[in-house]
Amino acid sequence: MSKLWNIALVGATGAVGNQMIECLEERNFPVGKIKYLASARSAGEVMEFNGKPVLVEELTHDSFEGIDIALFSAGGDRSREFCPSAARAGAVCIDNSSAWRMDPDVPLVVPEVNPHAIARYTNKGIIANPNCSTIQMVVALKPLHDYAAIKRIVVSTYQAVSGTGKKAIDELRVQTGELLNGRPAKCDIYPHRIAFNCLPQIDSFEPNGYTKEEMKMVFETKKIMEAEIRTTATTVRVPVFYGHSESVNIETEKKITVAKAMELLKHAPGVEVVDDVANGVYPMPIDAAGQDLTLVGRIREDDSIDNGLNLWVVADNIRKGAATNAVQIAEILIEKYLK
């Protein structure tokens, strides 16, 4: 029998936590004991794993005794406070928040792009999961970058409300119902109405006029791709429940034709080319929702520069953009590094 691993899931009751549970089940991860951890408010709830009941426990600094891998999805403050405790107890932390992403001693990993970086988990016992919008972009760009080094990226994102969590999903649903019934919509989660609207702000604004979300894409792309790629981003929240979309423009060192780009992408891990514009076929959030592939379409040359290419990239932000990526990292950990 193959070895079984003890797993702690921090933030088990949240949207990403729920999806991590589903991913572990779907992918038949070799789980021995599983522990669900959450705030005191959620402690005592009963959830399931593979059809068996699991009691949600309150997260404390003593929660990680005997745990091999701790999957964190409870926000940056919790990760900063509790990841070191988990690591001291002997667990490897895979953190979904932004807390550790830019720490030079913590690897920032997308398995299809830089799986070798996982080896550096020994520095602090922590591996960071990138931002959801960064993950799907670099999955699509990696094969193109390997063929013709990318010099510059201009990306605009159209991000689903599930990226903010369960309360944002509820807010879009309730607002939509209220407006369709002629009643005013109340705003609690976002600064403006999200139903039938687009918000060109994700996270707070920085002094340079960009939002934190936009700067995450700039900094994380360089770290993951291990290249000084000039990147500029505009991130927008749209009234979609699941699935982030991105318009990505790249400038490369040498020309990539549409045919070559399609060939490279069709053979790339984690990518599906969805591009038949003559028949109205291109990636959409409704197609990406519920699956782990990154969909790429609308592939066309940028006629305004010599070596430019445009792509439309779509993925499920809760799955590949968060939960699945973390579980994929855990799979590589147990296959290559943990004994």
Of residues 96, 243, 248, 218, the one with CA closest to residue 161: 243
| Residue type at 17 in one-letter notation | G
Question: 283 by DSSP, 3-state: which?
Answer: coil
Tell me the residue length of the chain: 339
Residue 93 a catalytic site member: no
β-pairing verdict for 126-128 and 46-49? unpaired
Q: Distance between CA 226 and CA 220 in Å, rounded?
A: 10
Q: Which of 23, 83, 93, 244 is catalytic?
A: 244
Of residues 21, 31, 5, 75, the one with CA closest to residue 323: 21
**CA 138 to mean position of chain CA atoms:** 11
Question: Concatenated DSSP letters for 82-135?
Answer: HHHHHHHTTPEEEE-SSSSTT-TTS-B--TTT-GGGGGGGGGTTEEEPPPHHHH
Q: Distance between CA 136 and CA 83 in Å, rounded?
A: 25
- Cβ contact 102:223 at 8 Å: yes
Q: Which of 83, 93, 132, 145 is catalytic?
A: 132
Residue 145 a catalytic site member: no
Of residues 237, 235, 158, 167, the one with CA closest to residue 195: 237
Instruction: Please give the positions annotated as active site.
Output: 132, 244
